[in-house]
Amino acid sequence: MTDWQVTSSHWGAFEARVEDGRMVATRPFAADPSPTRIPEAVPAAVHHRLRVARPSVRRGWLTSRERAGRGSDEFVELPWDEALDIAAAEIGRVRAEHGNEAIYGGSYGWSSAGRFHHAQSQVHRFLNSIGGYVASFGSYSTGCAQSIMPHVFGIDFLSFLYSHQDGWKTICDHTETLVMFGGVNQKNAQVSMGGVTEHETEGWFGRFADKGMVRVNVGPQRGDAPEGCDWLPVRPGSDTALMLGLAYVLETEDLADRDFLARCCEGYERFRLYLLGESDGVAKSPDWASALCGVAPGAIVALARRMASTRCFITVAWSLQRGERGEQPYWMSAVLAAMLGQMGLPGGGVGYGYGAIGGVGKTMRAVGGMTLPQGINPVRRAIPVARVADMLRQPGGPYQFNGRNETYPDIRLICWAGGNPYHHHQDLNALHEAWKTPETIIVNEPWWTATAKRADIVFPATTPYEREDIGRSSMDDYLFHMPALVPPQGEARDDYDIYAGLAERLGAGADFTEGRSAAEWIAHLYEGFRAGAGDLDLPDLDSLRARNWMRLPIREDGAPRSLFRQFRADPEAHPLGTPSGRIEIFSQTIDSFGYDDCPGHPTWLPPAEWLGAATAEAPLHMVSPQPGDKLHSQLEAALADAPGARPETLLIHPEDAAARGIATGDLLRVHNARGSVRARARVTDDILSGVVALPTGAWYGDPGGQIDPNGNPNVLTRDVGTSRLAQGCSAHSALVEVSRL
Q: What is the pLDDT of residues 38-47, one digit of tens each?
A: 999 999 999 9
- Gap between the Cα atoms of 83 and 89, Å rounded: 10
In tens, the pLDDT along 216-267 reads: 999 999 999 999 999 999 999 999 999 999 999 999 999 999 999 999 999 9
Measured N-to-C along each axis, helices 297-309 and 286-293 cross at an angle, to the nearest 10 degrees, of 110
- Rounded Cα distance between 445 and 111, Å, is 9
pLDDT, average across residues 436-445: 97
Mean pLDDT, all residues of the chain:
96
Number of H helices, E strands in the chain: 26, 30
**Residue 107 reports pLDDT greater than 80:** no
Q: pLDDT per residue over 111-125, tens digit each?
A: 788 999 999 999 999
Residue with the bigger pLDDT between 645 and 580: it is 580
Stretch (H or E) spanning 443? strand 440-445
Among 694, 533, 525, CA closest to 626:
694
How many Å apart are CA 495 and CA 418, to the nearest integer? 9
- What pLDDT is recorded for position 703? 63
Residue 355 is given by DSSP the state T
**Centroid of chain to Cα 471:** 20
**322: Cβ contacts below 8 Å, ≥ 6 apart:** 140, 141, 144, 728, 729, 730, 731, 732
CA–CA separation, 418 and 352 (whole Å) = 26
Amino acid at 502: L
Is 610 part of the annotated catalytic residue set?
A: no
108, 268, 416, 435: the active-site residue: 108
pLDDT at 576 over 60: yes
Amino acid letter for position 288 = W
What does the pLDDT read at residue 194? 87
Active-site annotation holder among 110, 435, 604, 610 = 110
Bridging pattern class, strands 382-384 and 135-137: parallel
pLDDT at 28 over 80: yes
Check whether 704 has a pLDDT greater than 70.
no
Q: What pTM, to 2 d.p., does this model score?
A: 0.97
- pLDDT value of position 2: 62
* SS3 (DSSP) at 39: helix
State the first-to-last Cα distance of the chain, in angstroms, to the nearest integer: 49
Query: pLDDT, tens digit, for every residue of 335-369?
Result: 999 999 999 999 999 999 999 999 999 999 989 87
110 is catalytic: yes
Q: How confident is the model at residue 301 (pLDDT cuts 50, 70, 90)?
A: very high
Query: φ, ψ for residue 671 (rounded to 5)?
Result: -150, 160
pLDDT of 660 above 80: yes
CA angle at 711 for the pair 708 and 714, rounded to the nearest 5°: 85
Which domains are seen in the chain, by residue range? 56-138+380-473+484-515 (3.40.50.740), 146-364+576-593 (3.40.228.10), 611-740 (2.40.40.20)
Q: Do 136 and 333 form a contact (C-beta atoms < 8 A)?
A: no
Asked whether the beta carbons of 165 and 559 are under 8 A apart, the reply is no
Q: What is the mean pLDDT of residues 438-458?
A: 97
pLDDT digits (tens, 9 = 90+) for 493-512: 999 999 999 999 999 999 99
Decide the pairing of beta strands 667-672 and 620-623.
unpaired
- Of all residues in the chain, what percent carry a pLDDT higher than 70? 99
Beta-carbon contacts of residue 267 (< 8 Å; ≥ 6 apart): 584, 585, 586, 587, 588, 600, 601
HEC-encoded secondary structure of 515-528: CCCHHHHHHHHHHH
C-alpha dihedral, 452 to 453 to 456 to 462, nearest 10°: 30
pLDDT recorded at residue 642: 87
Distance of CA 695 to the CA centre of its chain: 14
CA distances from 164 to 160, 273, 333, 371 (A): 5, 32, 17, 22
